[in-house]
Amino acid sequence: MERPDILDNDEMEELLVKVIDNADVLKSLMGALEKLKSAGILDLMTGLVNDYLPTDVDFLGKFFSSKEFSVSLMKTLNVLISVMGAMGSEKNSDMIKGLMFNMENITDNVHAAIENPKKYSPMKLSNIMADEDVRLSLSVMVALMKGLGQIMHRIGP
């Protein structure tokens, strides 16, 4: 007795022809997946699926056919395409990876500042501004604000 989930020889040949005909598409897809994996995004998505998606088949059927899922999927794909586009540039890719791999350290420092805010006098601020990391961060923030402002002007309210 033949299993229904196994392809017969004709179906297997047809599938292999499609794979060969679309090898460039598969290579591009694998490249994108490798970048998502190296950035930790694929592991994050896998963890979310394993930890938060229910195993109830009826619920999953209703959920995946719902309008909310379709809208969420489209928004997610738009963001993913943007991230993949940004990752296409080596400069952007390095910056995104650097931020993502150091995010825990950054958030620890932010939380520490929130939990224990410091008072800064004008003189102390002047001394802090002499720090190379602070000057670089301030320059980055000003450039980021300028870029965001330009984008906001283009897309409007």
What are the pLDDT digits (tens) for 101-121?
A: 888 888 898 899 999 998 989
What are the pLDDT digits (tens) for 126-157?
A: 899 999 999 999 999 999 899 888 888 888 76
* Per-domain boundaries in the chain: 9-117, 118-157
What are the pLDDT digits (tens) for 77-105?
A: 887 777 777 777 777 778 877 888 888 88
What is the structure's pLDDT at 78?
82
Q: With contact defined as beta carbons under 8 Å apart, do 110 and 58 qualify? A: no
What does the alpha-carbon distance between residue 50 and residue 40 come to, in Å, rounded to a whole number? 15
Q: Which amino acid is at 2?
A: E
Q: With contact defined as beta carbons under 8 Å apart, do 100 and 40 qualify? A: yes
Give Cβ neighbours of residue 129 (< 8 Å, ≥ 6 apart): 135, 138
